[in-house]
Structure 1
Amino acid sequence: MRHRLAVMVAATMTLVLVAFIVPLALVVRRVTEMQAVSRAVEEAQSLSVLVATSDPETLRLGMARANASTTHPLTVFLPDGTVVGEPAPLSPAVRLAARGESFSVATASGREIVVAVQGLPGGTAVIRSFVSDAEMTRGATRVAVLLTLVGLGLLLIGVLVADRLAVSLVRPIRQLARLSHRLAAGDLDARAPASHISEVDAVALSLHHLADRIQHLLDAEREYAADLSHRLRTPLTALRLEAASLRDPDEAARIEHQIVTLDHALTRVIENMRLGDSATDTAETSADAARVVGTRTGFWAVLADDQQRPMEVSVPPGPVPVGIGAADLAACVDALLGNVFAHTPDGTPFAVRLEAVDGGGAVLVIEDSGPGPQSDDGTRRGVSGAGSSGLGLDIARRAATASGGTLTFERGPAGGTRVTVVLGGPPT
């Protein structure tokens, strides 16, 4: 913007200065020519009395003094053909002036002035003066150069003033840009200083109000999520009591383990809501994918057996390190397997395959033989073609992205749904 303002001012001033200086230089040149011709005419006319009243010798002396004091060569053509003064050719203008006319005429190298002196005994004498082009333009070139220098000086001053003005406009705009970047980075306490430019200050005030509103909404969202998570502890406590009353110790231990896992997840939600972005600083950054996937498939195997679903699990012995925490990876696997159970009928076979990647990372593939995907883009948050919340695949996608990987949602060879999660390796 600063450069554009300077260019715009320079272009505008250049047009104005050219429109002013060029005509002025032409006028000066024209005035200089007219003054030179006028002086030559006056000098020639001043010799008329001398030519009309002097004898030949006196005329020669007078012409010699006149030529010595002027820059224009003066010549007198007498009626008898005698030429007095500076030698000059008998031009057509002189012949025409001998008929009693006085005038000036342009030539290839200047301007010829002829003055007729009538009343002489032998006829009409002609006084000739010549003004060269150099004489007519003397001083005009210097004036044109001076005008050009003045114009360049004014142009430089104008550009400097425009640049200072542009800086005063650009600086607060850049401060607004930095403010927006800080707000986008999560610094909602950032503020822009007053610029004393009403329009810019209005934008800054709007950004300040936006930051306050975002902060208010974030605080309300965190409080609501934390409160909701805290309320869930009551039914969790009831479930723990129900599990303790089961007669089968193994079943009671399994349910108790799931209750503890859910309780840890709720505690993590509360901490994340309270701490905000700083919570990610203490989050796990790596996990053994083989152990996590093996544990979660073991949990879902009980429900698969209950619904008579053939379940194929292929997990390497491990460890298979990936760049995501165990809790997030478990949530990813649970979300994908939960979709299989929620969107396919009982008895539908499915497979879970985990493969290690050379150099770190893994590929997790979950594929079923159900009716296939009901949406073209099941990974969009809140979008589902099967009437669910549409958050499951988004959880898996965010887990893959957090590890530096990707998620692919497509129709498998058997017509069902295949989800491929590429997990990046742990940070070095």
Structure 2
Amino acid sequence: MRARVVRVALVAAAVALLLLAVPLAVAIRFTFFADEYGELERDATAAVVRVGPEFTSGDPVELPGRRGEARLGVYDTAARLRSGAGPAAGGDAVRRALAGGVAQEQPGGELVVAVPVSSGERVIGVIRASTLARSVWTRVLWGWAALLGLCLLALGAAVVVARRQASALSSPLEALALTSLAIADGDLTARAPRSTITEIDEVARAHNAMVTRLARLLERERHFTANASHQLRTPLTGMQLGLEAALADPDTDPRAALAEAAEQSRHLDRTIDEVLRLATTDASAPVPASAQPVGDLLEAAERRWHGVLAQDGRRLTMGWESAVGQLSVPGRTTDQILDILLDNAHRHGGGTVTLTLRDLGTALALDVADEGTAALDARMIFERGTGTGTGTGSGIGLALARELAEDAGARLGLTGLAPTRFTLLLPLDESA
């Protein structure tokens, strides 16, 4: 692109200089020859005053001194040279001057001006002034050389300006191309820099917006697989263990095991829907989740996790007021966040797990606490891939829980380190 911009600029400058230089060259030639004719006429006019009426009777004439290569000659009415320098026969210019006017011609490489000499009202002779045309052409050529030098200087300046403009135009595009190559190589953090050219900045902004959206979509796609794997593993494991326990004990009522498996399958279905919703929802326009009484969600969570914790000799306790339990919250989202927090307490906590619901007026505070100690601070524990510091976590669950909460307009934070306590703030609408 640089070479093309320079080439276009040079062609435009060359055309402009050509359109300017040709008329100037013609004007230089015309001006120099016109000036020389004017000088010759002045020389001839100055010599006219030296010719008196006695010239017709044969008296000699004293002509003024010569100017450079100019020559002066006096001719009679028969166009014959009587004094000075010049051809013996005056030629066409002298004959035209004898008719009573100033005559000019350029015969045989000379410039000639003939001025009539009058006495009374009668022409008695002609002053012929001449010079070599090559001296004028020399000045003309020097003028053309100066004009050519100025044109070359202007063309050189045009080259410098064109190269700078080409660099100014192509540098942002080259940077944009490098950014695109970096993105093609997998660096989705690369962004096109701003320049001083409005049109290129518009392209860069559109490019950056496109890359940002693509990066967000790719991140959602990558997270979807990890989220689905994380959220489906625990319910599937619980369903499998329940069915295996029912098969191993012949005295167990199969209807109870099937009912529990059916409930687990419904929970799996809700989990899949929630993970898909999170993966496909635009963050700028979240889809509202269906509302359910918070007490029903807590009781369902207790049924799912009471046995899991009891197998490890741990207890699950819950506490809330009955009136508070009737308030509605985003059902599936809260259900998933509860599963993540209880699973985190099961895997990385210790002792009794306590679930408490508090009414804050405009929001509900849902606390999930255990008797363990958080190994990471509140700023790091929700980073995806960070884990809980025990070496057994994948660092997906808490990050997913915070994403689910933010998508539903809620807030999730670590509010206690020893013992560990997570608090989920669920906003309530005015009707609630």
What TM-score do the two structures reach when normalised by structure 2? 0.49
